[in-house]
Structure 1
Amino acid sequence: MRKHRTSEQWQALVDQQHDSGLSATQFCKQQDIGYASFCNWRKRLSDQPAGEAPGSDDASFLDLSSLMDASSSSGAGWNIVLSLGNGVELRLSQNG
């Protein structure tokens, strides 16, 4: 029967493999884990930005008021690009 694991469980397995000193192939055989699944999850988890927990859905905010204050004094507008993944971007601009 196939076992479904959460991203946190996969992260724990990736960490265990790293700490074990075993190759991924050896570790997967020892733990009875599919090698391809392990490699896919290891890549997926390593692609996450630092400090972001796997599967984290918590919202975070960035105070942009300092950008608006700086742009009004210098006369230069601001341009903000928010990359949402899968090639989707949100672009905010202000003209002088």
Structure 2
Amino acid sequence: MRKHRTPEQWQALVDQHRDSGLSASQFCKQENIGYSSFCNWRKRLSDQPTDNSTDSGEASFLDLSSLMGTSPSSGLGWNIVLSLGNGVELRLSQNG
């Protein structure tokens, strides 16, 4: 007989799997869960947007037009440093 689980129950199982150190196949056997159902729910839950998008590692955009001076004679410029990880940095700058 199939057990119907709520999205919250599937999320708990996905979290348990992540913390278990087991492969998805091993975890499903241990918990008596259908492998394809588990994989479908894991993908479905990972595709949902989160409230903490700044911590999600997903790309986002920042409008830099506010960094531009109001006139060319304002002398204002900008310096941007993007840390890409592993000590790699991308530096962008513009001086009036």
Q: Alignment partner of 2:11: what SS?
A: helix
Deviation at 1:38, TM superposition (A): 0.1
Deviation at 1:50, TM superposition (A): 1.1
TM (norm. structure 1) is 0.53
Match of 1:34 in 2: 34
Cα deviations by residue, 1:50-69 (Å, 9 ceiling, x for unpaired): 139xxxxxxxxxxxxxxxxx
The answer for unaligned runs of 5 or more in structure 1 is 53-96
Identity across matched positions, percent = 81
TM (norm. structure 2) is 0.53
Q: Alignment partner of 1:2: what SS?
A: coil
The number of residues matched between the two structures is 52
Q: Distance in 2 between matches of 1:16 and 1:51?
A: 21
| Structure with greater contact order relative to length (CA < 8 Å, sep ≥ 6) | 1
Q: Distance in 1 between matches of 2:15 and 2:40?
A: 14
Say which one has the larger Rg: 2
User: Equivalences for 1:5-84 in 2 at 5 Å?
Assistant: 5-51=5-51
